[in-house]
Structure 1
């Protein structure tokens, strides 16, 4: 496995070291586990208020509808050009 050397501040090192769950856990494992994009669903539960969640859901639905309308227009334009 290839490795890279990085420089970090003492403060960053202290924070990184405090995240160690096991004495033998490597800093690479800590970084991968915490920053590797493997967020657990339970970690996200409750981060939004009910109102914020409902607003987000409404916006997502509206964006999906708008995307569908744009896709339909593009498809119609392409089909018209093919005639």
Structure 2
């Protein structure tokens, strides 16, 4: 396997992983995530008051996100 292919595979695996950050001394937690069809992924963090969540999805992934959410079964 060439180095370029190996690096590409490593990047693809890294994009699939959900990454959580936070803890001392931070006051808020956040996470980065990906979803099927995403090129950039998204993030979620606690709101300013610590009560709600703020979701961010890159504009380039908006159509893939809308499709992903529409296809999810209702909880």
Global fold match (TM > 0.5): no
TM-score bracket, shorter-length normalisation? under 0.3
Which structure's relative contact order is higher, taking Cα pairs within 8 Å and 6+ residues apart?
A: 2
Normalised to the residue count of structure 2, the TM-score between the two structures is 0.27
